[in-house]
Structure 1
Amino acid sequence: MDSPQTYSLFMGTDVSCRILGIDPQVMLETAGLANLAQDRSELRVTAGQYFDAWNTIARLSPRRDFVPYLGVAISRGPVIPVFFTLSCAPNLETGLTRLAQFKSLLGPTRMQVFKDGQLLRAEYDSVDIHSPMPPSLGALQLVCMLENIRGATAHFVCPVAAGFDGSEEERRQIASHLGIMPERSATTFVTFSPEDAKRRFISENPALWADVEADLKLQLAAQNDPLPAAARVRAALADLMLSGRTGAEDVAISLGISRSTLQRRLRQEKTSFQAELDATRRDIAIRYLTKTTLGVDAIALVLAYRDASSFSRSFRRWTGQAPGAFRQARRRG
């Protein structure tokens, strides 16, 4: 029998828990997942376990309005590459279509985007028919989406309609953020007017998107396909760095193999873990320095460095220049 598909719990343990001030270990113990976290640097869980963790976060949250609070904080907080699917797009319709392709990298939810007459409609549901998506998680998807769209358009985009299977109180909690009162619906959905569907994004960045898309496709492929070891290591690092993990042991656990097996496979491909780590960090650093306005501190954080000074030393070793000087030189060129 095939093993069930698993998903990173990074958005729960490292993002949502941190924002809400919840101890991730307490959350995992309460959700009955503590045994899965032992000696694992990255926790990967089934769809059912993921939703159990989310429901536990909802119960432990010190805020009643945790859904809109989390949605805004996540959208304005850590750099999460999947969100570049929206921000780099030329318009809303293209951005949502791209996001739907890579949605599973954020957890066990499926997103469908299609035309409903003249309207643009996006629907969310679980990837597993036996494990329904919690209504509050559906509400979070709507809040995050709207927050990212408004940032990308510099316009208060208001959906034509929205809905999820929440109580009246739960729906009122996100109504002010959405700009409309969402209806009670078995399907989590949002629809936009034709004008908003084609609204231009001021954050459009086709050059950055070309690189990000390649990385995201690699991460999707690494979930199932037997890629070369070096490619799988790079995909794992791109995922793990978001939670500050860059060790060989971290990557080996993520790939489900021993550290010695990982090192042996890399040697067979005439490379090493350190070489792949440096190359991954270097490529991402150059991308963000040349194709975004992210500061050196923010880039260092994305690459899981202790501080900007450590990142700058590594970057100088790779390129012979400090990050700021490299950025200026590329812009002049």
Structure 2
Amino acid sequence: MHFVNQLFCGLPATTKPRAHYLAKAGISPFLIDAPHGRVTVEQFAELYRLLVFDLDDETPCFFARPLRGGTLKLLCLSMLDAPNLQVALHRYTQFFHILLDDFSYQFSVANGLARMALKEHAPLKGSRILIHELMLKLFHGIASWLIASKIPPILMECAYAQPIHSADYLYFYPGIVRFDQPQTAMSIDSTLLDHPIRRTKQQLGAFLRHAPADWFYVSFEDRLLSHRVREHLARHLATSGSVQHVARALHMSVRTLSRHLQQEGTHFQAVKDEYRRDYAVQALTRSEKPLIDIAEALGFEDLACFSRAFKTWTGNSPAAYRKARTTGLAVN
């Protein structure tokens, strides 16, 4: 919900009410004040597209000058005929240098690393942390799309203090992440710069239709053990959701599983609770499935146990959570 809440920062007073956009994106209004609220990537992408359309700004009120509809398309078109990724990224930095006065990118190559950094030339209009997160992901997502390969970040530097939602960075940047740095930047293996551009104009339409989902969320599930644990839980939670069952299914001991998860900055119960929380939120907001059925699907002994756990995760009961969504949609 950090990404949703901060997306509304800096919008003009004439913008439609926040509840209007949340309802159209299928996001429960209760989530606005839920400290651990969760939305799907698709819900966030739909909300982003709604704001882009209404404001005619593909970076909705991030900067002093709006990026009108079609800007992202022109950016990608300018890069598609580049001979390799390095030339494409040079064009990328030049494009934003021409368009914006208060923001630009700085690209450099040294010691086997290609580094894309953000530069602020004036105070940003929208939420600074969100802008840093999204504009760095824009570079990362477009670069990965251009060479048709997931680019693993080696180092992520953040020019801000560690935010409360930093646990989600595991899904976006499966490398080293450092906070309180002089610049926000991402470093990747410089050998990737020689990779040819593999995308065509014919493929650009689908990429743009899915924006910002396809550049905001470049999944690295195959690189993270925590994702493999979630995948197993998604398939077998009700019958084999214990740490012993999961370790056996992944062909390792419980101790080895725990050690690898610790290296990723998490532990088994946290991964299990995150999966159950996200499943419950989606079931409550995107279906009419009875509460008892949700509880059983998540492996809870009874509805009371599910309700206690859900209140711990979100600060409210499952029934109140669903009611808030229904009320919000009815109002709008």
TM range (shorter): 0.3 to 0.5
The one of the two structures with greater contact order (alpha-carbon pairs below 8 A, sep at least 6) is: 2
TM-score normalized by the length of structure 2: 0.39
TM-score normalized by the length of structure 1: 0.39
